[in-house]
Amino acid sequence: MDKHEHFDELKLLARKEAFCGYRFCPLCGQPMVIREVDGRKRMACADTACGFVHYQNPVPAAGAFIVRNDEVLMVKRAHPPRVGWWCFPAGFMEWQEHPEQTAIREVAEETGLQVRLTSFLNVYVGTDDPRTNAVLILYLAEVIGGELRAADDALEVRFFGFNELPENIAFESHRRALEDYSQRFRPSRDA
């Protein structure tokens, strides 16, 4: 990560930790203040008659864990945060989109591949993305078509053997998913 990207990531993280930068109420325009609501510090409208409270919730994301010949598919990130780092094809859900649709769409957009989801892997909480906290829903998937190519948000896309994974994996949730998969589906191979 270069100096400029690190600075940008720190700015995003500061904004995320400051209630996503809310300064004024989106309903009435009054200043926002930190107030205890439901036992937590939250941003709320200074005008208690307005009553707006900003509930800073995680953002849902979904993706696919694709294994072929004991190698896992990963994409090299083309956009911040962590340009040049590796992750699974995954992304934030669109409005009115089911997580399964998100996973299939993200694979197609980032890798050029068409997939069929075969089962559910797990749900992960991601707090190390400087933009937001995420709830990552990962599915196991198999390739049913398309042509492997870096597309959309990817600089590169390739399969890695589990013993030759890149060191710079972008998110902790992706590292945990690799460990989970290895423990559940590859116990004899890693011994």
Place of tokens 């694979």: 107
More confident residue, 105 or 23: 105
Burial call 165-175: b when 16+ CB within 10 Å, e when fewer: beeebbbebbe
Question: Which of the 8 DSSP states describes residue 119?
Answer: E
- For residues 38 and 120, what is the distance between their CA atoms, to the nearest angstrom? 33
Give residue 11's pLDDT.
57
Q: Is 156 an annotated catalytic residue?
A: yes
Instruction: Find all residues with CB under 8 Å of 16, minimum gap 6, and list them.
Output: 130, 131, 132, 133
Among residues 71, 156, 164, 172, which one is catalytic?
A: 156
Question: Which of the 8 DSSP states describes residue 157?
Answer: E
Contact between residue 69 and residue 162 where contact means Cβ atoms under 8 Å apart: no
Q: What are phi and psi of 80, to 5 degrees?
A: -60, 150
Measured CA to CA in angstroms, residue 1 lies from 61, 74, 139, 145 at distances of 24, 18, 29, 34
Measured CA to CA in angstroms, residue 155 lies from 9, 64, 68, 158, 162 at distances of 19, 18, 21, 10, 21
Strand partners, 42: 35
At 81-103, the pLDDT tens digits run: 999 999 999 999 999 999 999 99
Place of tokens 């957009």: 109
Does the pLDDT of residue 3 top 80, yes or no?
no
- For residues 156 and 75, what is the distance between their CA atoms, to the nearest angstrom? 6
Does the pLDDT of residue 7 top 60, yes or no?
no
At 58-83, the pLDDT tens digits run: 999 999 999 999 999 999 999 999 99
Look up residue 16 and give its two tokens.
């995320």
Question: Which of the 8 DSSP states describes residue 29?
Answer: -
Which amino acid makes up residue 142? E
Residue 188 confidence class, pLDDT cut points 50, 70, 90: confident
At 111-169, the pLDDT tens digits run: 999 999 999 999 999 888 888 889 999 999 999 999 999 998 899 999 999 999 999 99
Least confident of 2-6, 20-24, 28-32: 2-6
